[in-house]
Amino acid sequence: MLQGDVGVELGRRVAAALHAALGVEITPAEAVIRPSAREGVDYQCNVAMSLAKKLEKAPREVAQAVVEHLDAADLVEAPEIAGPGFVNLVLRREWLQEQAAGLLGDERMGVGTAEVARRVAIDLSSPNVAKEMHVGHLRSSIIGDALVRLLRFAGHEVIPHNHLGDWGTPFGMLIEHLVDEGWSADGTTADHSIGDLNGFYVAARKKFDADPEFVDRARLRVVALQGGDEDTLSLWRQLVDESTRHFEKVYAMLGIGLGPDDVYGESFYNPYLAETVAELEDKGLTEVSDGAVCVFPPGFANREGDRLPLIVRKRDGGYNYATTDFATIRYWVRDRGVTDLLYVVGTPQSQHFKMVFAASRQAGWLTDQHAEHIGFGSILGEDGKTIRSREGGTLKLVDLLTEAVDHAAAVIAERTAFDAEEQAALARIVGIGAVKYADLSNDRERDYVFTWAKMLAKEGNTSVYLQYANARIRSILRNAGDVPEPGARVVLTEPAERALLVKLIGFPAAIEATLESYAPHKLSTYLFETATTFTGFYENCPILKPDTTPEARESRLVLARLTSRVLTLGLSLLGIEAPERL
Ligand code: ARG
């Protein structure tokens, strides 16, 4: 758990009060401390409602016990009971002011580091060789990268791995097609670029469907590939390298730090597949069905009630997607000692992962490790259907990202006077940020509609809005000339000042909530609320006007500085840059 969250601290105090008053043991989370929507109340404690029944007492009686025994006078004003037994908590002004002073010297804005660091393997991006990355891979890359950043910030050891689809039967047909196209094993082929990866795949497929002679060649090629034939492996490597160059171009455009060292493609697990299946067999977990070796994890059946299989070795002796996923779990747990396995993969694969996890528990490959499929929905076009290119074909990610930067350039050119080089840099930051933020600000499990206008709007919950808000604050700080030093004091007089500070100290709680359910949209919602709260503050509390007292000016500059820090840090944890000027 992260420290620094006042809600958690209040939970601890309430738990202690209940222990003192009634001898009950609860965790801080069970104290149910929630931010309150009521005017003038910061937090509400709902523990009386949840405990009353268990204790066979009236909720108000439990609430009374909390109020009488609560030892939190350093944090909150004397608590009051409201309604059937809610305890209203109001943070003390002096305490809030001290927090602000403390945060000024804390680059982490109150977020502690995990008491117990976990070692997390996270499967992200994972596109397929000889195919264009599609929007599903875009979402996986963006969400996965944000989670890597957030988990690292929280103090965990994170190992991203790119489960590249670089092995299996399709490679027979792909390699034969390469040969037909004049590629050679010694790599001396003149032109090595597969300009249009999808086109390449489609052409190979077409031949495969039409030409039995090609099918035979493709079959033999798979055997040669699996048998380790040098020439075949060399052709395969060229194909993988060509695709990897394409993927790395997309990662570079996105500013995602996935590189060659992070690639643990399906081929990586190839040497382990036979022993993986043998282990399943030894443990008595397999059944032969129709000539194929299958596992049937308990609890998975179709509508007719038939048990669902995971095929681990096909009739022809070949291995499957599921076999590789078993080998993957075995590798990361056994050889790399991870405590957590996260998979950022589209929701349609949810059943696959449930079954793989269940069978891995049976096999003893997963014991006390936490394995979770972090699913996500699709990106839809404005017509509500899966997003396509303007010509109606599959959308190429490179095109989408280039278009985002072009749109952003138009937005920026409208209102600022930067030189061409700065404009180009800003267009990239704003355009790519907008694509990422549109993705991360939506509940990942839902589909969302992709609209240029909405995504690049200067008002509303967009990265552009947050980037402008931050740049405006930076400009205020520059104009003030005396950016507040550590030790500068905050003195709260106006409600808008207090509201802003209460929001700012909520940063650790926002990070915690985000990580708890791997839900970046919770952080984005928090950042948006912070920026709008700042706007309310700035309208009511002038900073640089002549009649602002020096004391108020210093205090408000501290609040502005902290706001900018929260926005910059928060955006960076989502993988989005916040420029100094915009
Ligand atoms: N390559 C797969 C696809 O494009 C995703 C792989 C996800 N990771 C895994 N371990 N199965 O659908």
CATH code at 19? 3.30.1360.70
E strand or H helix that includes residue 145: helix 135-153
Which pLDDT band holds residue 484 (cuts at 50, 70, 90)? confident
Predicted local confidence at residue 130, as pLDDT? 87
Per-residue pLDDT reduced to its tens digit, 254-264: 999 999 999 99
* CB of 165 shorter than 6 A to ligand 1: yes
- Average pLDDT over every residue of 561-567: 97
- Parallel/antiparallel/unpaired status of strands 80-82 and 292-295: unpaired
- Six-digit token string for 303: 């509508």
* CB of 474 shorter than 6 A to ligand 1: no
Domain boundary among 455, 474, 502: 455
Predicted local confidence at residue 190, as pLDDT? 56
The answer on 520 and 424 residing in a single domain is no
Residue 467 CA to ligand 1 center (angstroms) comes to: 33
Question: Is the confidence metric ipTM above 0.95 for this complex?
Answer: yes
Buried-exposed string 143-163: b where 16+ CB fall within 10 A, e elsewhere: bbbbbbbbbebbebebebbbb
Which residue, 53, 146, 29, is CA-closest to 522?
Answer: 146
Domain boundary among 91, 113, 144: 91
* CB of 126 shorter than 6 A to ligand 1: yes
Residue 113, in any domain of the structure: no
543-549's contacts with Cβ under 8 Å and 24+ in sequence apart are 543/476, 543/480, 544/476, 544/479, 544/480
Residue whose Cα lies nearest atom 3 of ligand 1: it is 127
- Average pLDDT over every residue of 32-58: 91
Residue 131 CA to ligand 1 center (angstroms) comes to: 13
For 60-202, where are the E strands, in sequence order? 80-82, 86-89, 119-123, 157-161
Residue 39 CA to ligand 1 center (angstroms) comes to: 48
Domain boundary among 68, 91, 114: 91
The structure tokens 């025994």 sit at 69
The answer on 536 and 495 residing in a single domain is yes
Least confident interval from 11-25, 379-393, 455-469: 379-393
Predicted local confidence at residue 4, as pLDDT? 62
Which pLDDT band holds residue 1 (cuts at 50, 70, 90)? very low
Predicted local confidence at residue 72, as pLDDT? 95
Predicted local confidence at residue 3, as pLDDT? 44
Predicted local confidence at residue 193, as pLDDT? 65
549: left (phi over 0), alpha (psi -120 to 50) or beta: beta
- Average pLDDT over every residue of 449-465: 93
Mean pLDDT across the chain: 93
Residue 123 CA to ligand 1 center (angstroms) comes to: 8
On the question of pLDDT at 572 being above 80, the answer is yes
Residue 160, in any domain of the structure: no
Predicted local confidence at residue 485, as pLDDT? 76
The CATH number of whichever domain residue 548 belongs to comes to 1.10.730.10
Residue 45, in any domain of the structure: yes
Residue whose Cα lies nearest atom 6 of ligand 1: it is 126
Predicted local confidence at residue 573, as pLDDT? 98
515 to each of 152, 551, 566, how far by Cα in Å?
A: 11, 38, 17
How far does CA 526 lie from the centroid of its chain? 15
Least confident interval from 44-48, 183-187, 370-374, 503-507: 183-187
Q: Is the dihedral of CA 387, 391, 396, 398 positive or negative?
A: negative
Structural domain including 513 reads 463-573
On the question of pLDDT at 480 being above 60, the answer is yes
Question: What is the share, in percent, of the chain residues with pLDDT greater than 70?
Answer: 97
Residue 263, in any domain of the structure: no
The answer on 412 and 477 residing in a single domain is no
288: left (phi over 0), alpha (psi -120 to 50) or beta: beta
Residue 199, in any domain of the structure: yes
The answer on 522 and 421 residing in a single domain is no
Residue 466: exposed, middle, or buried by beta-carbon count in 10 A (0-12, 13-18, 19+)? buried
The answer on 557 and 477 residing in a single domain is yes
Residue 346 CA to ligand 1 center (angstroms) comes to: 9
- 294 and 309 Cβ atoms separated by less than 8 Å: yes
* CB of 163 shorter than 6 A to ligand 1: yes
How far does CA 357 lie from the centroid of its chain? 21
Residue 328 CA to ligand 1 center (angstroms) comes to: 12
The answer on 23 and 48 residing in a single domain is yes
The answer on 564 and 471 residing in a single domain is yes
The answer on 490 and 418 residing in a single domain is no
- Average pLDDT over every residue of 410-435: 90
How far does CA 248 lie from the centroid of its chain? 20
The answer on 551 and 506 residing in a single domain is yes
The answer on 437 and 485 residing in a single domain is no
Least confident interval from 329-338, 396-405, 443-452, 539-548: 396-405
Which residue, 30, 35, 46, 36, is CA-closest to 6?
Answer: 35
Residue whose Cα lies nearest atom 9 of ligand 1: it is 163
Mutate to test the pocket of ligand 1, among 123, 139, 329, 345 (most ligand atoms within 8 A of CB): 345
- Six-digit token string for 312: 């681990």
Residue 283, in any domain of the structure: no
Residue 43, in any domain of the structure: yes
- 337 and 119 Cβ atoms separated by less than 8 Å: yes
Residue 529 CA to ligand 1 center (angstroms) comes to: 35
Task: Please report the atom of ligand 1 found closest to the CA of residue 345.
Answer: 7
* CB of 266 shorter than 6 A to ligand 1: no
- 109 and 508 Cβ atoms separated by less than 8 Å: yes
Residue whose Cα lies nearest atom 12 of ligand 1: it is 127
- Average pLDDT over every residue of 81-110: 94
Rounded CA separation 471/455 (Å): 19
Residue 431, in any domain of the structure: yes
The answer on 542 and 471 residing in a single domain is yes
Which residue, 376, 358, 373, is CA-closest to 442?
Answer: 376
Please count the structural domains in the chain.
4
Least confident interval from 5-9, 422-426, 548-552: 5-9
Which residue, 311, 312, 237, is CA-closest to 272?
Answer: 312
SS (H, E, C) 232-247: HHHHHHHHHHHHHHHH
Residue 324 CA to ligand 1 center (angstroms) comes to: 10
* CB of 141 shorter than 6 A to ligand 1: no
Residue whose Cα lies nearest atom 8 of ligand 1: it is 163
Least confident interval from 9-13, 132-136, 496-500, 530-534: 132-136
Residue 74 CA to ligand 1 center (angstroms) comes to: 52
* CB of 243 shorter than 6 A to ligand 1: no
* Axis crossing angle, helix 47-55 with helix 59-69, rounded to the nearest 10: 120
On the question of pLDDT at 189 being above 70, the answer is no
- 501 and 492 Cβ atoms separated by less than 8 Å: yes
- Average pLDDT over every residue of 355-380: 97
Which pLDDT band holds residue 213 (cuts at 50, 70, 90)? very high
Least confident interval from 37-46, 269-278, 416-425: 416-425
The answer on 472 and 451 residing in a single domain is no
